[in-house]
Chain A
């Protein structure tokens, strides 16, 4: 079974520029997450999708960040314009759709390391 794919793996941009990250979840996984991991901190959830609908974007800075998940499969996360404090690793994760009260493991991609100069 292929894992979660992300691209690019690394990105360096100037502040005020725009950037986009792409994620392809594990086949059949209905739930997709984007996390921000700042150096020295644990991952923080930015947005969660169930199929192609947003179920939690309470931590997403909506003035500059946007995300979409077309057709309930691939997802893109965009930052426009970028700030210095956006330098971080952006992790994508996916899990199966919830059934009853069982816990569904989140599988993580390798991440995209963003450096904003």
Chain B
């Protein structure tokens, strides 16, 4: 079974500071990995995804993440936080080799709430 663990349920940064949200995964095979963002009272929006191509993945709004197999990690970063980045972020994993009913199934972490201070 696959799982993800997001370290830190709340992260607080100052505007302009580095954003680092941590995600570690557990999987018996190289997984597909995703970061989603959820703004208040909205659905989830895909920020970026790793699907076994380049290990450094760039997403929307200046975010990027690096797949590190040796560390089983997929941490999300942004060099300079903006007030509009305040939201909840979810890491998710999927098994690319899953067949039948399991294909495309996402398993989410518990989420990290990012607060950005002026």
Contact = CB atoms under 8 A, between A and B. Distances in A.
Interface of A: 4, 9, 31, 40-45, 48, 55-56, 91, 93, 95, 98, 101, 103-106, 108-111, 113
A42 B49 contact: no
B94 A103 contact: yes
A41 B110 CA distance: 4
Contact of A43 (B44, B51, B101): B44
B41 to A, nearest CB: 7
Interface of B: 9, 32, 36, 41-46, 49, 51, 90, 92, 94, 96, 100-106, 108-111
Contacts of B100: 55
B19 to A, nearest CB: 19
Contact of A110 (B42, B94, B96): B42
Nearest to A91: B43
A106 B41 contact: no
19 contacts: A4-B43, A31-B104, A40-B9, A41-B111, A42-B110, A42-B111, A45-B105, A45-B106, A48-B101, A48-B104, A56-B105, A95-B104, A101-B96, A105-B46, A105-B49, A106-B106, A108-B44, A108-B45, A111-B41
| 7 A-B pairs closest in CB distance | A42-B108, A108-B43, A56-B101, A108-B44, A55-B101, A110-B43, A109-B43
A44 B96 CA distance: 19
A48 B43 contact: no
A43 B90 contact: yes
A45 B44 CA distance: 14
A93 B15 CA distance: 32
A55 B98 CA distance: 13
